[in-house]
Amino acid sequence: MEIRTVINTTQDTFQLYEVIRIIDDIPIFLEDHLTRLYLSARLTGMGQLPNVIYLTELVKTFVNSQKKNIGNIKLSFSFSDPSSKPFCELNYIPHAYPTKDEYTYGVKVGLLYADRIIPNAKIQNSEIRDRANKVISENNLYEVLLIDSTGNITEGSRSNVFFVKNETLYSAPGDKILQGITRIKILNLCKTANIQVVETEIPANVLNQYEAAFLTGTSPKVLPISSIEKFVYKTDIPLMIKLQKLYNLLIDDYISNLVK
């Protein structure tokens, strides 16, 4: 399979992709990202991806050859049609990690009406991404949350979202969203720590009922939200701080286990 490190996908192609965070030259949760990549391929009917052993070695070899300690890489497969062999691209992409102050005081978030066609598949959707970027730029926001055609908040344009009320986390049903790797890890941590999570529809018109909210994702990790448009949230609640620490420890353990 031809591998290139210049991303130049034309509009008439269909693209599956994963963005993987690199810390200390290690692709964090690589196995989980590849599992989701194959799920996306099955859900969209796009086959002929290389096997997991090949992709694992491809990513690791690429990261080692670049000699960059941290950053984000994008692994993508572009198809001209479902039966065609995919064009694979792998490269470091620009990243912007939250600052210390943003982890402490939170970030501003807006709203955007948009529906993903196949929520559980990670597909390049330039139309939604362009609209989201425009709203984010014009309003000096960190992210926008998507509101579907039924008026429910599903996820961020490039993240997942949790809401907090009475020591319980609330998030959209898993079949309505792209289940982010960080989101999955947070759900597992909640089970271990006996933190209650409710997956349910979250109407956009009841945002005032929640005490706090936070984003999860490859770049933000666990990031408090200070406001969603006119609604202001607490950013210092113990539950959220606990999850930040638990997730960071999970990453540290992942790295430690690989360098032993």
Evaluate whether residue 70 is within a structural domain. Answer: yes
Phi, psi (degrees; rounded to nearest 5) at 203:
-60, 140
| pLDDT attached to residue 67 | 84
- In this predicted structure, the answer to whether residue 2 has a pLDDT above a threshold of 70 is no
Mean residue pLDDT across the chain: 92
Quick one: 67 and 149 in the same domain? no
Alpha carbon distance 226, 223 (integer Å): 10
56 and 106 part of one domain: no
Prediction pTM value = 0.92
What residues make up the domain containing 41?
3-93
At position 171, the amino acid (one-letter code) is: S
Same domain, 133 and 43: no
> 71: burial class by Cβ within 10 Å (0-12, 13-18, 19+)?
middle
End position of a domain, from candidates 75, 93, 111: 93
Is the pLDDT reported for residue 143 higher than 70? yes
Statement to judge: residues 118 and 180 lie in one domain: yes
Candidates 210, 204, 196, 156; CA nearest to 179 is 156
Q: Inform me whether the pLDDT recorded for 153 exceeds 50.
A: yes
pLDDT value, residue 122:
93
Does residue 245 sit in the same domain as residue 128? yes
Q: Is residue 237 part of a domain?
A: yes
Give the pLDDT score at 260.
64
| 89 and 114 both lie in a single domain | no
* Predicted local confidence at residue 12, as pLDDT: 54
Query: Which of 199, 15, 40 has the alpha carbon at shortest distance from 120?
Result: 40
Amino acid in the structure at residue 190: C
Q: SS3 of 185, please? A: helix
Q: What pLDDT is recorded for position 197?
A: 98
What's the rounded Cα separation, in Å, for the pair 17 and 158? 13
pLDDT at 4: 35
* Claim to verify: residue 238 and residue 111 sit in the same structural domain: yes
> pLDDT tens, 222-248?
999 999 999 999 999 999 999 999 999
> Per-residue pLDDT tens for 191-201?
999 999 999 99
- What domain count does the chain have? 2
Q: Which of 194, 202, 90 is nearest to 156 (CA)?
A: 202
86-97 mean pLDDT: 93
- Measured between alpha carbons, how far is 116 from 118 in angstroms, rounded to an integer? 6
Q: For residue 44, what is the domain's CATH number?
A: 3.30.470.10
Instruction: Compute the 3-state secondary structure of the chain and give helix, strand, coil in percent, each to the nearest 5.
Output: 35, 30, 35
Q: What is the pLDDT of residue 240?
A: 97
CATH of the domain at 188: 3.20.10.10
In a domain? residue 82 = yes
> Would you state the pLDDT for residue 184?
98
Mean pLDDT computed over 88-102:
95
